[in-house]
């Protein structure tokens, strides 16, 4: 849904050069390109900022018409831009896209099914009932594929609070949870 | 909901959620869902690794990470806009730009007496963003003023009659190429007053 809307916005930029349309796409996807490029560049001398700048420069100046997923297109552009940089910097080596191995930090975040159930139990114990309900509702919405914005809108209606309050609630609850879990592990 | 190899928007959870995942703060079912996606999609895995690297670089402070991203985002945008200006600059050859900005000796000489005598307080302001020229006469006059614009080859570009009792006069310069221009203001038989102005002075190669 969100992607289709952004695709229309993007194609408005392509046909009219409307900078506001470009900015909406830029605001939505800049962060994704940065994180993606960060992981790609980590074992090379290639500057993340150069890759990201090049990606957005291509989109800004070439205005490529996009027919399918705009997010997929932008991420593929980031990947291909990184490969171009890699080839330029390593003229003697051909590029062989290494599989990204799950790092230790990410791997340690992985849980078995029973551990996930235990995690739920801990969360429930750490939080007051209303906070748990809030987090539970948020998780369900995100799990079923709603975007952050859609989830916030849903929570705003479900709990009859403003979207900004939803955002604040989430931060407060997560802080409580972090403190509680840290205290328990001592 | 898109399947895990599809790179649709829904497939990349936002970085806030990924950070919460890494810190073990999410309910088990959502945690497992993200985990499943990390295992199933190379693209998503790369993205999560990137979030993790940037989170660690920020001392595991999410707000610091967001501030750093916002700064980079602003810098990239600034760079894009600067390159666009450069692109425009490149749409003219250097020789063309040099010719456009070359002062006209005859008109430059004509500037001198009025400048010395301070015959008029008239000023021209150019807004390159809106492509509007504003002539500020300094004070209102009771006479009609002939206002004519010339390029540096003394070719007349536009001619207007400014009515009496007008203090500001504006006109569009969207069709003007970058360069040096001259404006002449005259009232009846009095010595014309000449002002120099530039359109897109930032493109001046000098």
Farthest CA pair distance, chain A: 61
DSSP category for residue B134: E
Q: Which of B125, B204, B139 is nearest to B171 (CA)?
A: B125
B2 within a domain of the structure (yes/no): no
For residue B76, is it within any domain?
Answer: yes
More confident position, B132 or A8: A8
Name A90's Cβ contacts closer than 8 Å, sequence gap at least 6.
Answer: none
Give domain status of residue B125, yes or no: yes
| Least confident stretch, B4-8, B72-76, B123-127 | B4-8
- Which range (A37-46, B10-19, B179-188) has the least confidence? B10-19
Which residue of B10, B24, B69 is in closest CB contact with A34?
A: B69
Binned at pLDDT 50, 70 and 90, residue A99 comes out as low
DSSP B103: P
Q: What is the pLDDT of residue B11?
A: 55
Per-residue pLDDT at B27 exceeds 60: yes
Chain A residues inside the 8 Å CB shell of B13: 142
Task: Please determine, for residue A159, whether its predicted confidence score (pLDDT) is greater than 70.
Answer: yes
Q: Which residue of A has its CA nearest to B85?
A: A61
Does any domain span residue B63? yes
CB B91 within 8 A of CB B202: no
Residues B80 and B99 in one domain: no
Question: Any CB–CB contact under 8 A between A123 and chain B?
Answer: yes
Looking at the structure, tell me whether residues B66 and B102 fall in a common domain. no
Residues B183 and B99 in one domain: yes
B151 inside domain? yes
Is the pLDDT at B192 greater than 70? The verdict is yes
Distance CA A145, CA A127 (A): 25
Answer yes or no: do B120 and B159 share one domain: yes
pLDDT of A107 reads 78
Listed residues B60, B90, B120: the one ending a domain = B90
Alpha carbon distance B33, A143 (integer Å): 7
A104 and B CB contact within 8 Å: no
B3 part of contact set with chain A, CB < 8 Å: no
- Residues B106 and B152: their CA atoms lie apart, in Å, by 9
Tell whether B79 and B144 lie within a shared domain.
Answer: no
Shortest CB distance from A113 goes to which of B14, B23, B32?
Answer: B32
Q: How many domains does chain B have?
A: 2
What is the domain-level CATH number for residue B188?
2.60.40.3080
Last residue of a domain, one of B90, B106, B122: B90
Residues B44 and B99 in one domain: no
What tokens were used for A34?
A: 């940065």
Q: Is there a domain that residue B3 lies in?
A: no
Q: Residue A146 has which token pair?
A: 């709603």
List beta partners, residue B132.
B127, B172
Residue of A nearest to B87 (CA): A61
Residue in chain A closest to B63 (alpha carbons) equals A171
- C-alpha distance from B173 to closest chain A C-alpha (Å): 20
Q: Distance (Å, rounded) from C-alpha B116 to C-alpha B103?
A: 19
* Residues B156 and B192 reside in one and the same domain: yes
Mean of the pLDDT values across residues A130-147? 91
Residues B183 and B101 in one domain: yes
3-class DSSP state of B141: coil
Residue B112 placed within a domain:
yes
Domains, in order of start, for chain A: 2-89 (1.10.1740), 111-181 (no CATH)
Do B75 and B146 belong to one domain? no
| Burial (CB count <10 Å: 0-12, 13-18, 19+), residue B69 | middle
Dihedral sign (CA B168, B169, B170, B176) = negative
What torsion, rounded to 10 degrees, do the Cα atoms A5, A7, A12, A18 define? 90
Q: Is the same domain home to B147 and B196?
A: yes
Residue ranges of A 20-79 with Cβ closer than 8 A to chain B: 26, 30-32, 34-40, 42, 49, 52-53, 56-57, 60-61, 69-72, 75-76, 79
Residues B103 and B186 in one domain: yes
Q: Which tokens go with B103?
A: 């002062």
List pLDDT tens digits, range A56-79.
Answer: 999 998 899 998 889 999 999 999
**Mean pLDDT score of chain B:** 82
Residue carrying structure tokens 């898109």: B2
Q: Which range marks the domain in which residue B32 is found?
A: 9-90
Please give the ipTM for the structure prediction. 0.89
User: Beta strand B168-172 with B193-199: parallel, antiparallel or unpaired?
Assistant: unpaired
- Helices A129-143 and A113-126, interaxial angle, to 10°? 140
Beta carbons of B48 and B31 less than 8 angstroms apart: no
Domain identity same for B183 and B104: yes
Place of tokens 């005259």: B186
Report residue B80 as tokens.
């894009």
Q: Does A10 touch chain B (CB under 8 A)?
A: no
- In a domain, residue B4? The reply is no
Contact A69, B15 (CB under 8 A): no
- Chosen domain end from B74, B90, B106: B90
């Amino acid at each position: 849904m969100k992607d289709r809307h952004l695709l229309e916005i993007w194609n408005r930029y392509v046909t009219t050069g409307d900078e506001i349309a470009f900015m909406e796409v830029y605001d939505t996807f800049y962060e994704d390109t940065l994180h993606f490029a960060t992981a790609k560049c980590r074992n090379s001398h290639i500057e993340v900022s150069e890759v990201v700048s090049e990606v957005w420069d291509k989109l800004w100046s070439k205005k490529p018409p996009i027919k399918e997923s705009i997010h997929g297109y932008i991420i593929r552009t980031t990947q291909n831009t990184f490969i171009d940089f890699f080839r330029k910097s390593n003229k003697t080596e051909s590029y062989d896209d290494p599989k990204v191995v799950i790092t230790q930090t990410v791997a340690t975040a992985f849980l078995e099914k029973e551990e996930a159930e235990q995690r739920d139990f801990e969360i429930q114990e750490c939080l007051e009932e209303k906070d748990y309900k809030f987090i539970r509702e948020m998780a369900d919405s995100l799990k079923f594929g709603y975007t952050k914005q859609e989830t916030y809108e849903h929570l705003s209606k479900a709990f009859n609070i403003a979207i900004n309050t939803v955002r604040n609630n989430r931060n407060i609850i997560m802080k409580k949870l972090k403190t509680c879990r840290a205290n328990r592990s001592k | 909901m898109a399947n895990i190899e599809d790179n649709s928007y829904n497939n990349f959870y936002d970085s806030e959620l990924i950070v919460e995942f890494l810190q073990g703060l999410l309910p088990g079912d959502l945690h497992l869902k993200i985990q499943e996606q990390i295992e199933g999609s190379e693209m998503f895995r790369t993205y999560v690794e990137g979030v993790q690297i940037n989170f660690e670089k920020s001392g595991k402070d999410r707000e610091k990470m967001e501030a750093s991203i916002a700064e980079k985002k602003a810098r990239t945008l600034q760079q894009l806009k600067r390159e666009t200006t450069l692109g425009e600059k490149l749409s003219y050859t250097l020789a063309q730009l040099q010719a456009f900005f070359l002062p006209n000796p005859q008109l430059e000489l004509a500037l001198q007496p009025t400048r010395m005598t301070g015959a008029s307080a008239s000023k021209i302001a150019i807004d390159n963003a809106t492509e509007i020229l504003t002539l500020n006469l300094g004070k209102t006059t009771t006479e009609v003023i002939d206002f004519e614009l010339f390029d540096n080859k003394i070719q007349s570009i536009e001619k207007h009659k400014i009515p009496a009792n007008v203090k500001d006069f504006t006109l569009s310069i969207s069709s003007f190429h970058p360069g040096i221009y001259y404006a002449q203001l005259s009232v009846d038989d009095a010595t014309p007053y000449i002002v120099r102005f530039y359109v897109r002075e930032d493109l001046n190669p000098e």
